[in-house]
Amino acid sequence: MAEAVCSFHKDSIVVRSPKASSFLSRMIMLVCAMTCGVYICSICLRQISGQTKTSNKIIDDSCENYRISLRGGAPYVHYPKPQTFHRVECVDNPVRYFVIVSMQRSGSGWFETLLNSHVNVSSNGEIFSVKDRRSNISSIFWTLDKVYNLDWVSSASKNECSAAVGFKWMLNQGLIEHHEELLEYFNTRGVSLIFLFRRNLLRRMVSLLANSYDRHAKLLNGTHKSHVHSLEEADALSKYKPFINPTSLTSELQQMELAAAKALEYFHSTRHIILYYEDLVSNHTKLVDVEDFLGLPHMKLTSRQVKIHKGPLREHIRNWDDINKMLRGTAYQSFLYADDY
């Protein structure tokens, strides 16, 4: 082995290695560094690959859980800030938005009084019966925003204590005409739909014709009432027996069915529940389903409304024999004898 060559200076000693030895040492160090670098890189790549797969799985799982939570209620819970009052101690209490989608004389008025008997529900009636409110989509949106911001004033308003706020919307009041814009509004704003229809469309027709007649006749001491709160008033209104045109009957029943089917088709992608008047009458646990749907605490729901047309249909149709003959053997035969009282 070559000896080191030393040179002396006044204040220091410098040790110099031979050139060959220095070059060889540097080469050895370089090779070792490269080897170590390749090994470390390979380990890191394996770790990164594993972490990426794990991260992707976590992200996918998180997204799925998020989607489930959205479907479960997140976008359907709101904290409105009304302009007309302050929610005081209820400011942190969530509110759900809903709309009762129905047709006239399908039990929606009775159903709404049941909902409004709940201390936390504000259902504001048939607000789009006023034509100006549905004259165009802008006025419709303005009205909806006011209702769901708790700024709509009606006798049903619970104000700061509301946990669910909505109204009734009949199919012939602009809902179907603007279904595309309203579908987007409902889904964007997190509005839940309660479809309420009547299975026995013949009974609905009797109620429609009788109510239309009373608008002009005003049988209750010169006053028209669509709904009554006493047996005496119900008995007085039920004395009128409408005449039903047998020739157009089947066609009219088909149109009613089509209207309901079209509404369900247009708004099937919303969060919704489908109810039938007959089920609500015969099975009061259906109201518990509605409370659960709206995220409400269970309460006994009551209504002061009294049913007008009780008993068999033959007692309420003037030309019963013609109608009975027309519907026998058709898809609507069951309407002749089905009860909802």
N- to C-terminal Cα separation, the chain: 116
- Tell me: pLDDT of 57 over 90: no
Higher-confidence residue of 71 and 41: namely: 41
**CB of 267 within 8 A of CB of 179?**
yes
Q: How many CB atoms lie within 10 A of CB 95?
A: 21
Q: How confident is the model at residue 14 (pLDDT cuts 50, 70, 90)?
A: very low
* Amino acid type, 289: D
The tokens for 108 are 């929606």
The backbone torsions φ and ψ at residue 308, rounded to the nearest 5 degrees and listed phi first, read -90, -50
- Tell me: pLDDT of 130 over 60: yes
Higher-confidence residue of 27 and 50: namely: 27
Q: What is the pLDDT of residues 159-211, one digit of tens each?
A: 667 899 999 999 999 999 999 999 999 999 999 999 999 999 999 999 999 99
- % of residues, the chain, pLDDT over 90: 69
**CB of 165 within 8 A of CB of 150?**
yes
The DSSP code sequence of 30-65 is HHHHHHHHHHHHHHHHHHHHHHHHHHHHHHHHHHHH
Q: What single DSSP character describes residue 296? A: P
Q: How confident is the model at residue 42 (pLDDT cuts 50, 70, 90)?
A: low
Give pLDDT, residue 31.
61
Strand 164-166 vs strand 121-123: parallel, antiparallel, or unpaired?
parallel
Give pLDDT, residue 68.
25
**CB of 105 within 8 A of CB of 208?**
yes
Give pLDDT, residue 70.
32
Q: What is the pLDDT of residues 210-250, one digit of tens each?
A: 999 999 999 999 999 999 999 999 999 999 999 999 999 99
Whole-angstrom distance, CA of residue 161 vs CA of residue 158: 6
Q: What's the whole-model pTM score?
A: 0.77
The average pLDDT across 72-85 equals: 81
Give pLDDT, residue 30.
62
- Tell me: pLDDT of 35 over 80: no
- Tell me: pLDDT of 270 over 50: yes
